[in-house]
Amino acid sequence: MDSLRRWMDEKGVRKVKVGAIDVDGVWRGKYISLEKFWSAAKSNMGFCDVVFGWDLGDELLDNTQVTGWHTGYPDTPAKVDLSTARIIPWEPDTAAFLLDFVNPDGTPFEASPRQLLQKMGQRARKLGFLPKFGAEYEFFLFKEGPQSLHEKGFKNLTPLTPGMFGYSWLRTSMNAPLVHALIDGCNAYGLNIEGFHTETGPGVFEAAIRYDTLELAADRAALFKTVVKEICAKHGVSACFMAKVDPKLPGCSGHVHQSLWNLKGEDNLFHDPSEKHGMSQLMRHYIGGQVALMPELTALYWPTINSYKRSVENTWAPTTATWGLENRTCAIRVIGDSGKSMRIEYRQLGADMNAYIGMAVSLAAGLWGIENEIEPPAPVLSNAYEAKNTKPLPRNLKDAVALLKNSERAREILGEGFVDHFVRTREWEVRQYERAVTSWELERYLELI
């Protein structure tokens, strides 16, 4: 605490921003005074648990158990994670800290995504593994602000750059002030950017965040989206991380790279030069677990109605539970041939993922595969979209939620409390969609039916 006080004094901190991520992957937080912060740092603080009782639009869910009108939406204790201290580069007098929701007795709040991730990290270490993860995101940038987005009804938006121009040296240079602000801002915020480039599509960019141990990687991935939105807003630009923005364009991925190391972080346990393709038995079983559980866990990876619009043949997103060596048509791509580089790229995840949930669940599935010695099916050597004898992934959120709800294995590896709450939130999301009258329906039926 004393060293933290000195650090904050040296940085000229005058206020603090604290926050936590909800089930939808949205940061919920507030500014607090220094006096309030030091009190919270010693004995926790109260945070209204409605953040677990409403949806993306702050509509109150009617089916939750963890909170609701039946509980009165009380404050739940929130513990300040002092290890997450960082200065907000674009608010230099403000320090930021992440919160962990806990029960009154101090135990983790089961519905919290960050606690789920920490639980999986602890489980991996008990098994003797140090998980190292890294995320990369694709996202659209539009020359719009919140006001213009709403005024236009989210249609006919102006992309930051025109045309299809992936890996464009020119487009990034043309927008250098914003590109440098994003890279420098993320780096200053501790979100170490390894690569940044345009992707195929108007205004589409991709950023790769440097890998690290699971917990650090998840914090960085979860913070990345809100950081990009904050920096872009200062340049009159809006960032979009929807899985599928335009039916004529590829969707936006949120691929997660993964490997398991010994507890000292010195040896990559996925690599074994004596085995075929350099893949250790441990790695095979890890992949085996992920492939076996992929369909029933899909709702956790693809959490929105829109998520499933990305999963279309020949658009770089998987449609089946498959894996392959350097094969981007598969849900899991094995990369590397050395102890330094051997890893998997979990390609099912999209840019709309909740990073804590996506990382925690894919790790849990891999660990389940190791514990049960699950051998994976044969790798797909050609186009996975045309491969035979593969398990199809659910085609919509309703079907995916039904699979998850009935999955005993999901409750076994993730915990009854988390799965139950998540299922309830997704059932609500499905119901909201089923009640909606879309512009497609109006354009198709209003005049002619």
Residue 163 sits in the same domain as residue 24: no
pLDDT at position 59 is 97
Does residue 447 lie in a domain region? no
Please report, in tens digits, the pLDDT of each residue of the chain (449 residues total): 899 999 999 999 999 999 999 999 999 999 999 999 999 999 999 999 999 999 999 999 999 999 999 999 999 999 999 999 999 999 999 999 999 999 999 899 999 999 999 999 999 999 999 999 999 999 999 999 999 999 999 999 999 999 999 999 999 999 999 999 999 999 999 999 999 999 999 999 999 999 999 999 999 999 999 999 999 999 999 999 999 999 999 999 999 999 999 999 999 999 999 999 999 999 999 999 999 999 999 999 999 999 999 999 988 999 999 999 999 999 999 999 899 999 999 999 999 999 999 999 999 999 999 999 999 999 999 999 999 999 999 999 999 999 999 999 999 999 999 999 999 999 999 999 999 999 999 999 999 99
Residue 273 sits in the same domain as residue 372: yes
Among residues 64, 86, 107, the one where a domain terminates is: 107
Residue 16 sits in the same domain as residue 78: yes
Residue 192 sits in the same domain as residue 312: yes
Does residue 241 lie in a domain region? yes
Residue 23 sits in the same domain as residue 170: no
Does residue 114 lie in a domain region? no
Residue 151 sits in the same domain as residue 4: no
pLDDT at position 374 is 98
Q: What is the CATH number of the domain that holds 327?
A: 3.30.590.10
Residue 148 sits in the same domain as residue 194: yes
Radius of gyration of the chain (CA): 22
**Total domain count, the chain:** 2
pLDDT at position 155 is 93
User: Cα separations (Å) of 103 from 7, 178, 315, 416?
Assistant: 30, 42, 43, 16
Does residue 113 lie in a domain region? no
Among residues 75, 107, 139, the one where a domain terminates is: 107
Question: Could you tell me the two tokens for 368?
Answer: 């389940």
Cα 305 from Cα 284, distance rounded (Å): 32
Question: What is the domain extent for residue 32?
Answer: 1-107
Among residues 107, 139, 166, the one where a domain terminates is: 107
Coil, helix or strand for 167?
coil
Residue 78 sits in the same domain as residue 178: no
Does residue 276 lie in a domain region? yes
Q: What is the CATH number of the domain that holds 17?
A: 3.10.20.70
Contacts of 238 (CB under 8 A, 6+ apart): 141, 142, 144, 145, 146, 149, 229, 232
Residue 125 sits in the same domain as residue 101: no
pLDDT at position 3 is 95
Residue 231 sits in the same domain as residue 335: yes
Cα 349 from Cα 330, distance rounded (Å): 12
Does residue 288 lie in a domain region? yes
Residue 391 burial (10 A CB sphere; 0-12, 13-18, 19+): middle
Does residue 395 lie in a domain region? yes
Residue 410 sits in the same domain as residue 312: yes
Residue 264 sits in the same domain as residue 209: yes
Does residue 320 lie in a domain region? yes
Closest CA to 86 of 76, 75, 100, 97: 97
